[in-house]
Amino acid sequence: MSINSTVLSTPTGPLSILADHDGQVLAAGFTPDPEALPALIHPSLRAPVRQRADLGPTTDAVRSYLDGDLAAIDSVPVRQHTGGEFMAHAWQVLRDVPPGAPVTYTGYAALAGRPPAVRAAAAACARNAAALFVPCHRVLRTDGSLGGYRWGLDVKKWLLGHERRLTAS
């Protein structure tokens, strides 16, 4: 078995995506080098990486998102393996945070059902391997500042601005 990879151009730089044979996203990140992503994947999900020009519905979803259909990425299946129930649940909750309506880490912990677990919510963002598809860029510090982002604050700022522009009424 192998992992399929592609690199897509975005206004904020290249987006590399790794997907399994069923089309489930295993990892994604704003890097030109898909070979940098397997380290983010749980060892049980790793396999040789095979370059592809296109990942079908996943590629289409990213292009639609970039063209303004912010919900297009919501239906892309994601497969991340964790060591705990909270992490998997927190990632699913994060997929339900609407574009243009970022939450704070405190708010995210509450949405995940564990209001005092702000550090665990932050850890879920930090350990998220499927950037964009599990939109950890939609989580901000309590004071509204950007906080951290594995792929750089310029990328996070662009993603939030893109979503804000398209959802502003």
**Catalytic center residues:** 136
Return the amino acid letter for 38: P
Q: What values do phi and psi take at 115, rounded to 5?
A: -50, -40
Cα distance between residue 9 and residue 109, in whole Å: 33
Return the amino acid letter for 158: W
Cα distance between residue 18 and residue 169, in whole Å: 35
Provide the β-strand partners of residue 15: 8
DSSP 51: E
Distances (CA, A) of 142 to 57, 105, 112, 122, 148: 36, 7, 16, 12, 13
| CB burial string 1-14: b at 16+ within 10 A, e below | eebbbbbbebebee
